[in-house]
Amino acid sequence: MSLKTITENPKLSLVQIINMSIGFFGIQFGWDLQRANMGRIYENLGANPDQVPLLFLAAPLTGLLVQPVIGYLSDRTWHPKWGRRRPYFMIGAIVSSVALVFMPHSSALWMAAGLLWILDVAGNVAMEPFRAFVTDKLPDAQVNRGFIMQSMMIGLGGSIASALPWLMNNVFHLTNTAHQGHIPENVKFSFYAGAFFFLASVLYTVFTTKEYPPTAAELELKAQENHKGFAAGAKDIWSSLLNMPKRMQIVSLVQFFTWPGLFLMWFYYTTAVAVNVFGGKDASDPVYAHGADFGSLTLAYYSVVTFLFALVLPKIADRLGRKTTHALCLLCGAMGLISVAWVHDKNMLYLCMTGVGIAWASILSMPYAMLSGCLPKHKIGIYMGIFNFFIVLPEIMASLGFGWLMREVLHNDRLLAVQIGGGLMIVAAVICYVFVKEEKNQLKP
């Protein structure tokens, strides 16, 4: 049974939807800051390109366990003052912000990898309940607006976070190079800013948004379920995994092929720009540093595209249907990644990232919208956690296997790795268009 009230939720105003979504701005600020800079930090600390995927491994392994557990727990949590989902937002934000402050002070690879692990675990604790938060708060007629608003906040947060190293260097004149074993000043202060925005925006949502309390009958059911213990919870999660609705199985497969393309971009795009487009040699080379900063700036640009495209995405999905819209957006992202290899003028990277920004707007909303109506209401948190398995599993596979592929097959060609990511997005687009079945009432968001 659900802790959610059985009556239809009242419609919320635009301001209320913005308030409940602002926390996602901070969460994405933290994600994009580490995605755009961790490969660079690792190489500054002496990692070879083939070592980078393995250094990302601990975080997704932990996320594989954290996401469904947090979903399960948040479904069954209720505090008279803090509500159901908000305690997880706040705890995750506090721990993530501390990790962001310490990250640029890493003196060794193991320290940076450990802090990334803490950051990803805490980030998942904060982020996982946010997807269920939309369903908790909004009536069915506004659910898609809630997910699109989250996409806009993600785009806005990601654009600022990715641009920060460039801004710190070009506006505040902080150095962007450092000796081997040290982190450049522009990256350091970017992480400090990230810690502030992460915590401040999540706390804003926590203090401006209330949650609907459960009924007396639901509170009694919650008390009964709490006595069943952890084993019953693990059994419930496992049973839910084995009995995923058919549509969720197919959309999960789409996610499984989509996200490796994103991970390979986050692993290698910034350093690929520094080496392949700008001709930099290593992390101590000013040309390399300038190229890495510019690569981060173009990542910021794709987040701006995401923010703007999210404004028109509902109308496109209304006309074409969700699966067709998502498939076309994934193809745009694939062409953006593949075409990076054809760039000779650095400014052409903005065109490449336009395609990625279009794809990212859809990735953040359409898969969740396609699940609308096929998930049991009383297990939304669990199923959102399970759905994220198919984001985490590809990252684990990439972390375990792609280092060997980079070293033995691709000869540490970062640019080719980015292109392979584009190829996987094409596979995802085909699966989405051919196999996802939409009901008539789902052709409109």
Provide the token pair at 259. 């996200």
Amino acid at 443: L
What per-residue confidence (pLDDT) applies to 426?
A: 97
What per-residue confidence (pLDDT) applies to 442?
A: 47
Instruction: Enumerate residues 6+ apart whose C-beta is below 8 A from 91.
Output: 122, 125, 126
DSSP per residue, 33-64: HHHHHHHHHHHHTT--GGGHHHHTSHHHHHHH
Reported for 225-233, long-range contacts at CB under 8 A and 24+ positions apart, including other chains, are 225/76, 226/76, 233/69, 233/72, 233/73
What per-residue confidence (pLDDT) applies to 252?
A: 93
What per-residue confidence (pLDDT) applies to 433?
A: 95
Instruction: Enumerate residues 6+ apart whose C-beta is below 8 A from 336.
Output: 302, 351, 352, 353, 354, 355, 356, 358, 359, 422
Domains annotated on the chain, with CATH = 14-210+237-442 (1.20.1250.20)
pLDDT along the chain (445 residues), means of 10: 53 91 92 83 84 76 76 79 88 95 90 89 86 80 79 85 87 85 90 95 93 69 59 75 87 93 86 87 81 85 87 87 94 95 90 95 87 73 80 80 83 89 96 84 44
What is the rounded distance in angstroms from the CA atom of residue 30 to the CA atom of residue 21? 15
Phi, psi for residue 83 in degrees, rounded to 5: 85, -150
Q: What do you get for the CA distance between the two ends of the chain, in Å?
A: 27
Distances (CA, A) of 291 to 47, 299, 351: 18, 12, 17
Sign of the CA dihedral 205, 209, 214, 219?
positive
Burial 18-33 (b: 16+ CB within 10 A, else e): bbbbbbbbbbbbbbbb
Phi, psi for residue 339 in degrees, rounded to 5: -75, -10
What is the rounded distance in angstroms from the CA atom of residue 129 to the CA atom of residue 388? 12
Contact 229, 61 (CB under 8 A): no
What per-residue confidence (pLDDT) applies to 218?
A: 60
What per-residue confidence (pLDDT) applies to 261?
A: 87
Q: Which residues pair with 79 in a beta bridge?
A: 83
pLDDT in tens, 171-207: 999 988 878 788 889 999 999 999 999 999 999 999 9
What per-residue confidence (pLDDT) applies to 224?
A: 60
Dihedral, CA of residue 346, residue 348, residue 352 and residue 354, to nearest 10: 110
Which residue spans within 150-252 are E strands per DSSP?
none
What per-residue confidence (pLDDT) applies to 7?
A: 54
What per-residue confidence (pLDDT) applies to 444?
A: 45
What per-residue confidence (pLDDT) applies to 445?
A: 39
What per-residue confidence (pLDDT) applies to 354?
A: 96
Closest to 34 measured CA to CA, from 181, 148, 180, 195: 195
Provide the token pair at 79. 């505090």
